[in-house]
Chain A
């Protein structure tokens, strides 16, 4: 459980850590779109290199990222295999009679996997280098123009920050309940799949009960402290846009230009 990195924040003082959350959010948003520009071997290679560069700048270890993203990486390998075995086109590479592997299948498989990997890495780096509070602050400001069309921006940001805030809490809770049930002889880690699925019930029910209780407590705590939504609310933490952020976004533009040039 401690290995999961979704929603975790690793404090630090790298270039990426120091960036303004608005800049980081914009960067990631545009980057995600830019990922879909790539369509050739070289452009995918460039994407991968850029992602690794960003990772180096954030001073997050590759081994840590890979360990934490294992479940996602397994899914990625699965899509890779799907493509390798089922996409047809191009020259026939392997012919086993009933299994045929085509060049296009391998190509597509690798492309999709790289795209997936890059997306997962870049978003993980965002959450790992930015505190949940900073992310929501940034998001709220970036989305504030949509208030004009009656989008409840503040409420959405609040919901998100609460969700992010409680991921680690729920993880700890899961761990605790799991241990309590294991101490009563329930077994989630060994035995046939059928038994393991059954063993999830004693874990999920207490977890739901406590999550609802927690939600109710939080609502009460907010109410007694006079929370009334975002109307007229001032900020304690002010975001500061610096040269660093402008530079990062300029670098992003250069990157997009490179990707467009490498397209075929």
Chain B
């Protein structure tokens, strides 16, 4: 399911002294089955964009096309609901949305809202809880008795159980330890690869964007200033600096290494694994000479 933003502008608090423009003429086309990252400095309009992706906000100007549905300012709230089932959002600190008596019931909340039968919803909930790596024993526990990391997983399962075609992630790993961070990111990447889900990752982390995304859009002061592949985006560190962003640490490392040994490795490595591969190839080539 493609998502197309056309000349989208948004103002908070229209008609009050607090009126603030958050988005200016944003054009963005997110293709079905892609892994799109949206990065930007604090206050660049990332979160505002995110809420447009499943019609939580309606653009004050322009339009958002989500699959076949067109979201404009005039749309009535009840027409927006079907869209929300197709696009699931995992908000920042999603554990704050837990409320049910048991973990199982909380995960069933989403699907049941969209008219899924109870038995079916329960089946989905059990599957999703296993998928996010929670043991059977938590099913009947209160979500408030779990650890922070486990609560996060329950909340993520709650979004996955709606079986959306597009998943929007807002800093999904904020506040997790490094291992939990990696597990969660790998989980989403697996879903993206195996089930061909469209992923949209809104993040501060250049490393995550470089590692997982195949398209990166850069937001700066309410505008979408760049959109391209990670290689294109991260090859120009000066331009990134102008948007108050840095290239991933591994690319900084590669640049410094190249300067030190006076040799270009020939390609930009986006992850540690890639750099190791390229480096060992280069070393072997030189030994052979």
Contacts and interface: CB of A to CB of B under 8 A. Distances in A.
Main SS of the interface on chain A? Answer: helix
A180 interface: yes
Given A2-B12, A67-B15, A186 B109 contact: yes
A7 to B, nearest CB: 14
Nearest to B15: A67
Interface stretch (A48-56, A135-143, A200-208): A200-208
A184 interface: yes
Interface stretch (B82-90, B202-210, B262-270): B82-90
A210 B96 contact: yes
B57 to A, nearest CB: 9
Interface residues of A, number: 28
Q: Quick one: which of B78, B88, B99, B162 has the most chain A CB within 10 A?
A: B99
B169 interface: no
A3 interface: yes
Interface in B53-94: 54, 56, 77-78, 81, 84-85, 88-89, 91, 94
A186 B113 contact: yes
B158 interface: yes
A39 interface: no
Interface in A17-64: 61, 63-64
A183 interface: yes
A42 to B, nearest CB: 34
Q: Quick one: which of A10, A179, A182, A183 has the most chain B CB within 10 A?
A: A183
A190 interface: yes
A212 B13 CA distance: 29
Nearest to B56: A179
Interface of A: 2-3, 10, 61, 63-64, 67-68, 176-177, 179-187, 189-191, 201-202, 205-206, 209-210
Interface of B: 12-13, 15-18, 51, 54, 56, 77-78, 81, 84-85, 88-89, 91, 94, 96-100, 109-110, 113-114, 144, 158-159, 162
